[in-house]
Amino acid sequence: MPREIGTTAELADLLRFYLEAGVDVALSEEPVDRFALTETQAEEVARASPPPPNPRREQQPIETPAFAGIAPPIEATARPRTTPSRPPPNLAVPSEAAVMAAREAAVTAETLDELRAALASFEGCNLRFTATNLVFADGNPEARVMFVGEAPGFDEDMQGLPFVGRSGQLLDRMLKAIGLDRTTTYIANVIPWRPPGNRDPSPQETEICRPFIERQILLADPDFLVPLGGASTKQLFRTTTGITRLRGAWRDFDTGRRKIRAMATLHPAYLLRRPLEKKLVWRDLLALKEALDA
């Protein structure tokens, strides 16, 4: 039998685990001890349970009697969802035409505000229709350093800002360690919409979103670019080499207008799972600080 969870702290930890695992909704109002059910009872419960929610419909935060009084770990008021005015025209596998449409939409943006507007109205990526908010950027767009992650998680999707969950809190501490914060850095993601259930973006979705992040880097025009984690590093550097071999080494990132000094490092979410690897990131941060001071 599973261990009984009784304290508020334990319940909060369990709910936080569910949220980070991508569990957005409950299938019933009351908990069911399926270990205590007979086969016949289990079949009756299954028949009585409502069908799984439609992922295309807007999903609301869980609020059930079992978790009464325990708020999800959201650090700011969620931004209102921008719901399409009509049903999505196409939810099929993205095509080369969608990639070309993304390139055309990105290249027409002459400012970051125009690029954000272009992304908000772009309907060529399926992720837009299952996400709650567009997660465009945070921080100072005129900063000398730009950090780029892969895709938003649950907290980011709810707030419309990148790196606001547990990994974002660690990123803030990492920045503070070398005298930086969100007023002196610019933070974005390769993918601006949360993939359902925090799954990995597909290669098609990545190719559709690539022109937007490349244009975003060009328009922000930082002096230093820092991809966070293997996924964003491979996508921006167009390589299959692993992050452990790429991190900590300076290389050039060509925007088409000029070359930006770029250095990849490990993702904060990885450090939460492997805290002993923080020593490697600390070396990378010191190298970044040295470059900024120089």
Q: Give the three-class secondary structure for 206.
A: helix
Q: Mean pLDDT across the chain, nearest whole number? A: 83
Which residue type, as a one-letter code, is found at position 24?
D
What domains are there in the chain, each with its CATH number?
A: 8-67 (no CATH), 96-293 (3.40.470.10)
Mean pLDDT of 45-65: 49
Helix (H, G, I), strand (E, B) or coil at 75: coil
Nearest to 156 by CA among 136, 128, 177, 174: 136
From the list 259, 184, 187, 192, the residue with the least C-alpha distance to 223 is: 259
Amino acid letter, 156? E
Q: What is the pLDDT of residues 100-133, one digit of tens each?
A: 999 999 999 999 999 999 999 999 999 999 999 9
Strand 251-254, strand 259-262: pairing: antiparallel
pLDDT at 251 over 80: yes
Task: Give which of 216, 16, 21 is closest to 114, Cα–Cα.
Answer: 216
The answer on pLDDT for 192 being more than 80 is yes
pLDDT in tens, 9-49: 777 877 777 776 666 655 555 665 655 555 565 566 556 55
- Determine the Cα angle at 199 with ends 65 and 82, to 5°: 70
Report whether pLDDT(61) > 70: no
CA dihedral of 140, 294, 230, 216, whole degrees rounded to 10:
30
CA distance 125 to 191: 10
